[in-house]
Amino acid sequence: MARDNSGQEEKMQQILQATLEVISRETISGTRMHLIAKEAGMSQSILHYYFASKKDILVRLMQDLKREFNIKRTQDVDAKRHSLSQNLEGFLKQKKDIIAHQRKMDVAQFDFFVQSLVDEELKVVFRDFFQAWYDEIHEVICLADLPQANKDKLAKTVPRMLISLMMGASMQYLIWDGELFDLDEYFSQTEEMLLDYLNKVLA
C-alpha cells in the first residue's frame, strides 16, 4: 500500500510547529520528546514514528526555517531585476518583519546558535543556514551593475556586515522586549549607513 505522503508531511509539520512552541518556552536544552508530543496532541510513540530523536527534529526544524526564510526573501530580493540598494533594503525588510512578528523563530535562531557550540551536527546545519544567507547577499552584489574592483571589495565586506547588523537588532529587541529598542529607527539608520558605505566605496 502506498503511503499518504501529504498526510505524513502534514503530521511532520504539526510536530515541527509544536517543537517551535516548546523551544520558545523551555529552550532547546529543556525541550523533551514528551513535551513535543503533548504540544502536538499525539502520543510519544506516534512522535517517534516520524522522528527517531530530538536531534532529528531539530535538524529538520532548522532546515525548514532556512527554507521558509529563503522563500520569503524572494518577495523583496531579486538579484537580477532589482538594484543593489533595493535588494539590500529587501534583506533588511525581511529581518525587520521577522523580529517584529515572528518572535518564536527569532528566539529559536539564537538557541540553535548556543546548541551549535556544543553539538557538531547542529553546528553544520546552523552554519549552512547562515551560509545560504551570506551567499544570497554575495550574489546580489556580484550581479549588481558595478565596476569589478568595487564588487570585489563590497562582496568581501557587505554580507558579513549586513548579517551582523540584522542579528544585532534581533538580540537587542529580544533583550528589551521591544520596549526600549526602536526597530523602525534602527533599520532606517542601518539602511542609511549601508548606502553611505556603498557610496564611499563607489566614489
Tens of pLDDT along 151-161? 999 999 999 99
Q: Residue 4: what pLDDT?
A: 57
Q: What's the CATH superfamily of 58-202?
A: Tetracycline Repressor, domain 2 (1.10.357.10)
Domain residue spans of the chain: 1-52, 58-202
Report the chain's mean pLDDT, rounded to a whole number: 92
User: Residue 63: is its pLDDT beyond 70?
Assistant: yes
CATH class of 1-52: mainly alpha
- What does the H/E/C string look like for the chain? CCCCHHHHHHHHHHHHHHHHHHHHHHHHHHCCHHHHHHHHCCCHHHHHHHCCCHHHHHHHHHHHHHHHHHHHHCCCCCCCCCCHHHHHHHHHHHHHHHHHHCHHHHHHHHHHHHHHCCCHHHHHHHHHHHHHHHHHHHHHHHCCCCCHHHHHHHHHHHHHHHHHHHHHHHHHHHHCCCCCCCHHHHHHHHHHHHHHHHHHHHC
Tens of pLDDT along 121-169? 999 999 999 999 999 999 999 999 889 989 999 999 999 999 999 999 9
Residue range 23-52: mean pLDDT, rounded:
96
Q: Residue 2: what pLDDT?
A: 43
Percent of the chain with pLDDT over 70: 98
Rg (CA), the chain: 19
